[in-house]
Amino acid sequence: MRVPIIAGNWKMYKTMGEAMGLVNAIKKSLGSFDKAEVVVCPPFTALNTVYGLIENSMIKLGAQNLLWEKEGAFTGEISPVMLKDCGCEYVIIGHSERRQYFGETNETVNKKMKLALDMGLMPIVCVGETLADREANKTNAVIEAQLKGAFADISNDDMANVVVAYEPVWGIGTGKTATPDMAQAVHKFIRTWLTSNFNADIAEATRILYGGSVKPENAKELMAQDDIDGGLIGGASLKAESFIAIARNAIA
């Protein structure tokens, strides 16, 4: 059985004080909830502060990006060593906003995946098509190219620590959500790809999250799909009530 993950991507929101307020509220309303792994991904500046509040709790810490080097003259970048030092267990890699605005490519995603895994961080690797891709019937081809790129030379052993997030670009922050059937079809495609390119056990064990305007009202139906193992939540993770409601509504 795959343990679902509900992960909150806080993007470039929350000062340290605001982050403390949010994580304390999440912790309080989460209580002894244990039906999913709950992960929060604050901005870099709040990582360690948040870690101080969730250490020894069931909430896990993730970062939103990293560089593929451990250290060096890379002004403005952040290394996996630093993320580990802040208490991170997870790191989001290849989010569509990074691909769209910051030149992230399938190759850089792969470099980041490799170093994250070497350093003991668990990547949440994002894939997803644009509206133009979908309208041109290119969804599977785009997802396949992203998977091929991200997973080049990743070993079977490392796959135990990888999470995939399917996030249709047209659904992120737009209020438009894929229907459960549309999402399930792509999740199934990803799992089949994992079977062909790794093996059936790895495909069965890999968590594949859905992301894109997930809200308390639509989470249950999405998460009920066979191949959807939780969510990567943006906007709705910025308020404890909606984030927790998604976790509680979604996971039976």
| Residues forming the site for ligand PEP (CB under 6 A) | 9, 11, 167, 172-173, 211-214, 232-236
Structure tokens at 84: 């580990």
Q: What are the distances in angstroms from CA 3 to CA 94, 117, 213?
A: 23, 20, 22
Q: By beta-carbon distance, which residue lies closest to ligand PEP?
A: 234
Per DSSP, which regions of 55-191 are E strands?
59-63, 90-93, 122-127, 163-166
Classify 173 as helix, strand or coil. coil
Catalytic residue among 37, 104, 167, 187: 167
Look up 95 and say whether it is catalytic: yes
The CB-of-127 to ligand PEP minimum distance in angstroms stands at: 12
Residue 7 beta carbon to ligand PEP: minimum distance, rounded to whole angstroms? 9
| Nearest C-alpha neighbor of 233 from the set 41, 55, 89, 60 | 41
Question: By C-beta, is 80 or 235 nearer to ligand PEP?
Answer: 235
Residue 216 token pair: 């308390």
The least CB distance from residue 76 to ligand PEP, in Å, is 21
Q: Nearest 5°: phi and psi at 207? A: -80, 130
Q: Which is nearer to ligand PEP, 9 or 146 (CB)?
A: 9
23 vs 246, which CB is nearer to ligand PEP? 246
- Residue 167 or 198: the one with the smaller Cβ distance to ligand PEP is 167
Q: Which residue number, 40 or 198, has a Cβ lying nearer to ligand PEP?
A: 40
Q: Report the nearest approach of ligand PEP to the CB of residue 132 (Å).
A: 18
Closest CA to 193 of 225, 153, 151, 222: 151
The active-site residue, picked from 95, 97, 129, 187, is 95
Closest CB 213 distance from ligand PEP, rounded Å: 4
Known active-site residue 167: yes
| Measured distance CA(43)–CA(13) in Å, rounded | 7
- Beta-sheet pairing, 90-93 with 163-166: unpaired
> Own/partner pairs for 74-78, CB < 8 Å, 24+ apart?
78/44
Active site residues: 95, 167
